[in-house]
Amino acid sequence: MNSDNNALQRTYFLGGPPRVGKSIIAFALADKVHGHVVSTDAIRNAARKTSFQKDGDLFIVEKTETVSEKEWIENHLNNPKKIVEYQNRESKALWSSIESFCNSFCEDDTVHIVEGVAIISSLVAGMKNKPENVVFVGNTSENHLKSLLEHVRDFPRKDWMSALGYSEERIEAMASFIKEMSLYFKSEAEKYGFPYFEISDDNFQSSIGSIVEKL
C-alpha cells in the first residue's frame, strides 16, 4: 500500500464469511455515507483473468468447486477447517491486487466500502498505512441453516444458492462452513484488536442497522 495514500482515512474494510449479510451492511453504509461499495470478489475475478499461474492459490477455492457433489458436501460439512484454510490461502494470494486497487482511491474524494471474505485481520494488520475503519462480522448460530433454507425458499430470484441449484444437503454443508469461518473471523479479530459483530437471524434487520450505526 502506498504510504502516501491518505484515502484509507475514508475507506471502510468489512470482512466476514459468505451469506451472513456483508453486502447488505456495505450497501446500507454506502447509502448513509454516500459511498461506493467494492467487492473483493470482483477484484479476485479480474486478477484471475490476468494470472498466468492457473495452479496457484488464487485458484485454490475454485478447484474445490470442481469435485463431485459427494466430496464437496463431505469437505464443507465434515471438514470445514480445510475449506477455511483454502479460502485464506486464496485471500493471501489476492491481497496484493486488493492493495493495488485501493491505491487508486487517492485519485478521488469518494468514501469506499471494501467488503469480502478476502478481508482478513492478519492482512489488514500488516498494512503499512493502516485503514481506520475495519470491522468483521459473522454468524455462529446453530439456527443459521434454517434461515438459509427459508431465504432460498422465499426469495429464489434473489438467492445465488438457489440460482446455482443448491440442494438442501449442500446448503447444510454450506452452513457448516459459514459457522467455522465465522469462528475464524471472530478469533482473528480479537487477536488483532479489530471489532467483530455477531449477526442475528432472529433480529436480522435490527442487527444490520445496529452495526451500520456503530460504523
Query: Per-residue confidence of the chain (215 residues) as pLDDT tens digits?
Result: 444 556 778 899 999 999 999 999 999 999 999 999 999 999 999 999 988 888 899 999 998 889 999 999 999 999 999 999 999 999 999 999 998 898 888 778 889 999 999 999 999 999 877 788 999 999 999 999 999 999 999 999 989 999 999 999 999 999 999 999 999 999 999 999 999 999 988 888 898 998 898 88
Question: CA neighbours within 13 Å on the CB side: how many for 135?
Answer: 20
How far apart, in whole angstroms, are the C-alpha atoms of residue 13 and residue 134? Answer: 5
**pTM for the complete prediction?**
0.92
- Print the domain residue range for 169: 6-203
CA nearest to 212, candidates 16, 38, 34, 32: 32
Per the domain annotation, does 181 fall within a domain? Answer: yes
Per the domain annotation, does 10 fall within a domain? Answer: yes
Determine contact, residues 35/111, Cβ cutoff 8 Å: yes
Reported in sequence order, the residue ranges of 43-188 that DSSP labels E, i.e. its strands, are: 112-116, 133-138
How far apart, in whole angstroms, are the C-alpha atoms of residue 61 and residue 151? Answer: 25
How does DSSP classify residue 132?
Answer: S
Per the domain annotation, does 212 fall within a domain? Answer: no
Per the domain annotation, does 213 fall within a domain? Answer: no
CATH code of residue 152: 3.40.50
- Our count of domains for the chain comes to 1
Q: Which residues pair with 135 in a beta bridge?
A: 14
Per the domain annotation, does 215 fall within a domain? Answer: no
Per the domain annotation, does 71 fall within a domain? Answer: yes
Determine contact, residues 15/195, Cβ cutoff 8 Å: no
C-alpha cell at 177: 462452513
Per the domain annotation, does 214 fall within a domain? Answer: no
Per the domain annotation, does 184 fall within a domain? Answer: yes
Strands 196-198 and 11-15: unpaired
In 60-77, which positions are buried (b, 16+ CB within 10 angstroms) versus exposed (e)? bbeebeeeeeeebbebbb
